[in-house]
Amino acid sequence: MSSGNRRVCLLTGAGGLLGDAFCRALYTAYDIVAVCGTRIPATPSQHEWFVDPFDPQGTVPENDSRVFLIRSDLTAPGEVDRVIDLALAKFGGVDLLVNNAASLRLHPQGIVDGDSAIDDFEPQFALNVGVPLRLSARLAQRGWMHDIDGNRARNRNIVNVSSLSGSNVYPGGQAVYAASKAALNHLTRHLAAEFAEFGVRANAVAPDSFPARVPTEKVLQAILELDTGAMTGGVYSVVAN
């Protein structure tokens, strides 16, 4: 179950740059269900227990971590339900869903150069749009719809990690990725509208390229501001200045 008053976060893409930063910054502040594929966040999890060799009976800060690591290909059949089953069994509920996992495959020669853009359409949309939809719907069905007072008391919400590509056209073969992020932006607005009746908010952050143009820490801060705020239905750009 949840550790006292800590918020419970279900985070996808936990092994990526932003996911790793989230876990490392917040592993003693949030209970985190960290969902990842081939890479794992560099934080203590249920797989590790730390002992100070100079004070074996002493308290070690790393053991305050409540990062519960789950390896998953969220696009595989049944995996969204398995992850939610494990998250609810471990912590009893989810206060913050961060849809951070994404697929980015560029087509620098354009969408008419062979079939690569066509072949990448379904995989990119499945992870970038389909997984946030499924996780949001299942969490609502399994808990949020039946706990209106709890949702409002704990300020439960969804933060989708989008991209400026979802609203701007950039060179470099981003057409399919950008279309998926545009769809995620509008899915966010619809989630906010439909989930308002049971008191769950939904927003998106749309960062410029990070860490090249925007520090990863600034994207992380934007997510935390959305978690603690009261806004809903917005898509917020994160740029350098």
Own/partner contacts of 130-135, CB < 8 Å, gap of 24 or more, are: 130/75, 131/12, 131/74, 131/75, 131/80, 131/99, 131/101, 132/99, 132/158, 132/160, 132/184, 132/187, 133/187, 134/74, 134/80, 135/10, 135/12, 135/74, 135/80, 135/83, 135/84, 135/97, 135/99
Q: Is 177 a catalytic residue?
A: yes
Question: Six-digit token pair at 234?
Answer: 């917005």
Catalytic residue, from 27, 30, 170, 177: name it. Answer: 177
Q: Which residues are known to be catalytic?
A: 177
